[in-house]
Amino acid sequence: MRMSKLLMPTLREVPAEAEIVSHQLMLRAGMIRRLAAGIYSYLPLGLRTLKKVENIVREEMDRAGALELLMPALLPAESYQASGRWEVFGDSMFKLHDRSGRDFCLGPTHEELFTETVLNEVRSYKEYPMTLYQIQTKYRDEGRPRFGLMRGREFVMKDAYSFDLTKEGLDKSYKAMFDAYCRIFTRLGLDFTIVDADSGAMGGSGSQEFMVKSPVGEDGIAYCDACGYAANYEKAECIVSEKQFPEGDLPLEKIDTPKAHTIEELTEFLGTEPHVFAKTIIYKADDKYIAVMVRGDREINEVKLKNLVGCTDDPELAAPSVVRELTHAEVGFAGPIGLEIPVYADKEVTFMKNFVVGANETDRHYRNVNIGRDFEPDVVADLRLVEEGDVCPRCGQQIKTAQGIEVGHIFKLGTKYSDALGLKALDENGDMTSVIMGCYGIGVTRCISAAIEQNHDENGIIWPRSIAPYQVCVVPVNYKDEQQTEAAEKLYEKLLDSGLEALLDDRAERAGVKFKDCDLIGIPLRIVVGKKIGDGIVEFKERTMPEPELKSIDEAISAAVDYFKE
Ligand code: ATP
Ligand code: MG
């Protein structure tokens, strides 16, 4: 491509609308432009990279035996009403209706449609197992669209769905996708971490996320360098860390704690450490109320709580009026003693001695509380959030934490959608059984953001070679020098003939401007044709090399070809 003809509106200034590097660089490199919050146009460079990412995903899905098809984005409401997700998605779903008043949505994800396709089109149980996928635009009216392609309201996802008749079959289909994902993210040049994720009712190794560690990631990861354990915050198992408590079995005391509603206020008032308190928080879980206890220096993990209680909706903090009614006290003084709702205690609480809890009386707490003597929790389980420095649940070393960008997610769904939509088949014993599903997503456009977050410097993008919009750029130093421009043209043609995706910077610009643009848009190789062309010598530079290497024209071409050999 001749750069004089390329629509590549690069920007020198950092656009004010972009907070993170990948978003800034994509705008500056002229890859994307914003139309509305979370909605972008892809200009030629952006589209080329997007197509490359899609193709890598496609090749590996095909290699894993998955079949590509394409569903519409504009979907009638009925399938989502049948699964209950018309309501569940709530405001995140773009809903609309046609001229005769029929309800539609813009598809946020397609479990229902794939399930129905299999229901309608698969004639015999012999056609199972089957994995179907598409690479398609999704719509979600996200509460906080931001960071460019990272969290869009319109974005490209690869979504795949597997259909099996046995649990073992599902394990196999899942493993095939797991392996394909590892190949995909490796080929995309991403340094990724696979973490255990919450799988709701499925349990076990039912869900994993592919994360790219980055401070701008919106997900928390807990990991252990010693043994390789990694899980997201919601899932990470917690081990009890024992702390020092006053010895013996001290007598229970009710104490005045005026205006001490929070742990900070209490520790200050009593002059002690947060770990000698146990917090008691009242939650609404579907239509019942429960009390949840964790040590004062810990936080409750609401996903673990939801799984334990088995409620349909996410547990919510009880309204202050309810807390007052249940505890007969202002918010901040709830405690387990004498409380008439079920008490769920994090297992760490059972290792505490002579600790402090709310007294269910405004401005009062109990001191020297001991489980067994003063109260008995109804349920004891792992209910807290992991923290940096925790003990690794696998090997006992220290847990580290990081932020991560979720680029992919694989999930053993089970029979949720097949049951909801009536997808059954004969199993090996000739019995009708619900088809067992898995679902597998990749944020195709988000991968582009993640790749740039991981690969850039102060001059611009450093594309992994597999997804660079172009591979090599030929730059004549002096566009008025005929010998240079002619040689550059010839070199450009030869690179194209060798099968490389080459750019020729034939613009009437100073060399400095051209070099800056070439770095900004992240082209992996640059070949500069300057004064030494009289001796047949050019300057060859990889994007990350501090200085170019001198090569003959033929050497430069073969070096470029070699660089892109897989
Ligand atoms: P998140 O927790 O980031 O909202 P999710 O769990 O809702 O993601 P899935 O439904 O599992 O996402 O979608 C599959 C993949 O699609 C995700 O792993 C992510 O890479 C990508 N993705 C999800 N939402 C967005 C979005 N708003 N913009 C860009 N990519 C997205
Ligand atoms: Mg997810």
Q: Where are the domains of the chain?
A: 32-236+401-453, 253-381, 470-565
Distance 39 CA to ligand 1 centre (A): 15
Hey, what CATH topology would domain 253-381 get? YbaK protein (3.90.960)
More confidently predicted of 493 and 428: 493
Other CB atoms within a 10 A radius of the CB of residue 325 amount to 12
Residue 504: pLDDT band (50, 70, 90) is very high
Average pLDDT over residues 169-193: 98
Confidence band of 199 (pLDDT split at 50, 70, 90): confident
In sequence order, what are the residues at sequence separation of 6 or more whose Cβ sits closer than 8 angstroms to the Cβ of residue 300? 281, 292, 294, 346, 383, 384, 385
Task: State yes or no: pLDDT of 203 exceeds 60.
Answer: no
User: Distance between CA atoms of 277 and 59, rounded to whole angstroms?
Assistant: 55
For ligand 1, atom 28: residue with the closest CA: 151
Mean predicted confidence (pLDDT) in 238-252: 92
Using CA positions, which residue lies closest to atom 21 of ligand 1? 443
DSSP 398: B
- 377-385: average pLDDT: 97
User: Which residue spans within 140-259 are E strands per DSSP?
Assistant: 154-164, 193-196, 207-213, 219-223, 230-232, 253-256
Share of the chain above pLDDT 90, in %: 93
Distance 311 CA to ligand 1 centre (A): 24
Atom of ligand 1 nearest to the CA of 157: 16
The CA 258 to ligand 2 mean position distance, Å, reads: 44
Q: What is the pLDDT of residue 204?
A: 56
Atom of ligand 1 nearest to the CA of 409: 18
Q: What share of the chain is helix, strand, coil (3-state, %, to 5)?
A: 30, 30, 40
Q: For all residues of the chain together, what is the average pLDDT?
A: 96
Which pLDDT score is estimated for 312? 85
For residue 383, the CA-to-ligand 2 centroid distance in Å is: 21
In this predicted structure, the answer to whether residue 201 has a pLDDT above a threshold of 80 is no
pTM: 0.93
409: CA distance to ligand 2 center in Å? 5
Of 125, 118, 134, 131, residue with least CA distance to 170: 131
* Per-residue confidence (pLDDT) for residue 313, from 0 to 100: 87
Determine the distance separating the centroid of ligand 2 and the alpha carbon of 11, expressed in angstroms. 34
Residue whose Cα lies nearest atom 19 of ligand 1: it is: 443
Q: How confident is the model at residue 500 (pLDDT cuts 50, 70, 90)?
A: very high
The SS3 call for residue 134 is: strand
**Exposure string for 96-125, b = 16+ CB within 10 A, e = fewer:** eeeeeeeebbbbbbbbbbbbbbbbeebeeb
Give start and end residues of each alpha helix (H) in 132-210. 167-187
- 202 has a pLDDT exceeding 90: no
Rounded average pLDDT over 13-30? 96
The pLDDT of 191-201, averaged and rounded, is: 88
Protein residue with its CA nearest to atom 2 in ligand 1: 406
In angstroms, the Cα distances linking 545 to 143, 454, 519, 526, 539 are 42, 17, 11, 10, 12
Please choose from 446, 448, 449, 453 the residue to mutate so as to test ligand 1's pocket, defined by most ligand atoms within 8 A of CB: 446
pLDDT-based confidence at 261, cuts 50/70/90?
A: confident
Report the residue among 409, 411, 413, 442 best suited for mutation to probe ligand 1: largest number of ligand atoms under 8 A from its CB. 409
Mean pLDDT of the region 215-243: 95
Q: Average of pLDDT values for 264-293?
A: 94
CATH class name, domain 470-565: alpha beta
Which residue(s) pair with 348 in the sheet?
A: none
Mutate to test the pocket of ligand 1, among 23, 157, 210, 448 (most ligand atoms within 8 A of CB): 157
165, 436 Cβ separation under 8 angstroms: yes
CA atoms of 444 and 486, how far apart (whole Å): 40
- State the Cα–Cα distance between residues 270 and 268, nearest whole angstrom: 6
Whether the Cβ atoms of residue 324 and residue 331 lie closer than 8 Å to each other: yes
Pick the atom of ligand 1 nearest to 153's CA: 27
Atom index in ligand 1 nearest the CA of residue 407 equals 20
Of ligand 1's listed atoms, the one at least distance from the Cα of 145 is 27
State the distance from the centre of ligand 1 to the C-alpha of 402, rounded, in angstroms: 19
pLDDT (tens digit per residue) in 518-552? 999 999 999 999 999 999 999 999 999 999 999 99
Q: What are 312-349's pLDDT values in tens digits?
A: 889 999 999 999 999 999 999 999 999 999 999 999 99
Q: 32-236+401-453: which CATH architecture?
A: 2-Layer Sandwich (3.30)
The neighbour count for residue 168, using CB atoms within 10 Å, is 10
Q: How much is the pLDDT for 395?
A: 95
Name the closest-CA residue to atom 22, ligand 1: 443
**Taking residues 94-119, what's their average pLDDT?**
97
> pLDDT value at position 106?
98
Ligand 2 (single-atom ion) residues, CB below 5 Å? 409
Task: Give the residue, 261 or 530, on which the prediction is more confident.
Answer: 530
- Dihedral through CA 5, CA 6, CA 7, CA 13, nearest 10? -120
Coil, helix or strand for 532? helix
Q: Which residues' Cβ are closer than 6 Å to ligand 1?
A: 109, 140, 142, 151-152, 155, 157, 406-409, 441, 443, 445-446
The residue whose CA is least distant from atom 13 of ligand 1 is 441
Task: State the burial class of residue 487 (Cβ atoms within 10 Å of its Cβ: 0-12, 13-18, 19+).
Answer: buried
Ligand 1 atom with the shortest distance to the CA of 140: 27
Task: Tell me the mean pLDDT in the region 350-375.
Answer: 96
Q: Which two tokens stand for residue 419?
A: 């049951």
